[in-house]
Amino acid sequence: METWTTFDQVLQGIKDNPHPIKKKTIQSVFNTRKDLSRIKDYLLSSFQNEKYTNPDFEYTLKYCFERMMRFLFVQIRSGKIITFAHVENTKFRNKWSSHLKTNAKTLRKKLTSFTKDTRRCRLNRIEEDATKWSATNCFVNPYSYSGEGVGDSHYEQELYDMLQECTKKYKLPDTDLIINKKDSNFLRWDDKYPYDVYRSEKDPEQVGRHFYPILAIGSSIHHADIPIPYPQDWDLPKPVQTPWSQRQPRAVFRGASTGCGVEANPRILAVQLSMKLKSQGKDILDAGITKENCRLRVVDKQLDWIKLKKLNIPIVPFMSREDQSTFKYILHIDGNIAAFRLSEDLQSGSTVLKVQSPYTVWFTPLLKEYEHYIPIKADLSDLEEKILWCQSHDSECKQISEQAEKLVKSIVTHERILQYWKYVIDLCGNGI
pLDDT tens for each residue of 300-342: 999 988 888 889 999 999 999 999 999 999 999 998 888 889 9
**For position 21, what pLDDT does the model report?**
47
Q: Are strands 374-376 and 351-355 parallel, antiparallel or unpaired?
A: parallel
**For position 50, what pLDDT does the model report?**
55
Report DSSP state, residue 36.
G
pTM: 0.87
Q: Is the pLDDT of residue 48 over 70?
A: no
181 close to 70: Cβ distance less than 8 angstroms: yes
Question: For residues 195 and 139, what is the distance between their CA atoms, to the nearest angstrom?
Answer: 10
Classify burial at 423, counting beta carbons within 10 Å of its beta carbon; exposed 0-12, middle 13-18, buried 19 or more: buried
3-state secondary structure of 178: strand
56 close to 212: Cβ distance less than 8 angstroms: yes
Q: Average pLDDT for residues 222-247, to the nearest whole number? A: 90
- Percentage of the chain modeled with pLDDT above 70: 84
> Pick the residue with more confidence: 49 or 222?
222
Question: For residues 60 and 206, what is the distance between their CA atoms, to the nearest angstrom?
Answer: 10
**For position 26, what pLDDT does the model report?**
30
139 close to 297: Cβ distance less than 8 angstroms: yes
119 close to 320: Cβ distance less than 8 angstroms: no
The alpha-carbon radius of gyration of the chain (Å, integer) is 23
3-state secondary structure of 212: coil
Domains of the chain (ranges plus CATH)?
2-91+149-235+416-430 (no CATH), 244-411 (3.40.50.2000)
Of the pLDDT bands very low, low, confident and very high (cuts 50, 70, 90), residue 33 is: very low
**For position 147, what pLDDT does the model report?**
59
Q: In what order do the strands lie in the sheet with 351-355?
A: 285-289, 248-255, 327-332, 351-355, 374-376
Q: Is the pLDDT of residue 31 over 80?
A: no
Torsion sign, CA atoms 389, 392, 393, 394? positive
H or E, element range at 2: strand 2-4
Question: For residues 4 and 1, what is the distance between their CA atoms, to the nearest angstrom?
Answer: 10
Q: Average pLDDT for residues 373-402, to the nearest whole number? A: 98
Question: 269-279 burial, b if ≥16 CB within 10 A, otherwise e?
Answer: bbbbbbbebee
